[in-house]
């Protein structure tokens, strides 16, 4: 992976970490029947951030695998909620993550950066 791409990817993960880990209480807090799925979603993103922070930017296959795993977790969480808006948001993010995983597997981090930047707000709207 080229240095600039690696640096951009690392910056995107840092942004996700800040959004989910530090500011996530209001963004992925949830309420009512969605509270557990929202909490589990937040945990899935926290685990993803922890995992990818240990992966070298020079290993795009590992980034791809971690991102695909996150997408799978979001699909699973979508199946656990009865809230239509939350289900739709989780399913849509899983699709975006899978597309980004394909690109990042070839060394192109731009799509993953976009998804990572937008995901907390998109899912957060459904959890509020």
Is the pLDDT at 32 greater than 80? The verdict is: no
Give 85 or 9, the one with higher predicted confidence: 85
**Which are the contacts of 101, defined by CB distance < 8 A and separation ≥ 6?**
63, 64, 65, 67, 68, 71, 112
pLDDT digits (tens, 9 = 90+) for 75-113: 999 999 989 999 999 999 999 999 999 998 888 888 888
Mean pLDDT score, 1-8: 46
Whole-angstrom Cα distance, residue 37 to residue 82? 10
pTM value is 0.78
d(CA 111, CA 118): 11
Return d(Cα 84, Cα 62) in angstroms, integer.
Answer: 32
58-80 pLDDT per residue, tens: 888 999 999 999 999 999 999 99
User: What is the pLDDT confidence band of residue 55, given thresholds at 50, 70 and 90?
Assistant: confident
Residue 11's pLDDT band, with cuts at 50, 70 and 90, is low
Q: What is the pLDDT of residue 14?
A: 55
Give me the pLDDT at residue 108, please. 86
What would the DSSP string read from start to end of 8-56?
HHHHHHHHHHIIIIISHHHHS---GGGHHHHHHHHHHHHHHHHHHHTS-
Phi (first) and psi of residue 78, to 5 degrees = -60, -35
Q: Return mean pLDDT, the chain.
A: 79
């Amino acid at each position: 992976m080229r240095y600039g791409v690696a640096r951009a990817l690392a910056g995107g993960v840092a942004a996700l970490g800040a959004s989910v880990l530090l500011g996530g209480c209001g963004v992925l807090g949830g309420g009512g029947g969605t509270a557990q799925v929202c909490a589990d979603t937040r945990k899935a993103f926290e685990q993803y951030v922890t995992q990818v922070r240990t992966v070298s930017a020079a290993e795009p296959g590992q980034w791809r695998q971690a991102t695909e795993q996150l997408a799978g977790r979001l699909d699973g969480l979508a199946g656990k909620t009865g809230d239509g808006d939350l289900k739709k948001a989780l399913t849509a993010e899983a699709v975006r993550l899978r597309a980004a995983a394909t690109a990042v597997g070839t060394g192109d981090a731009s799509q993953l950066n976009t998804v990572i930047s937008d995901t907390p707000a998109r899912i957060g709207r459904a959890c509020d």
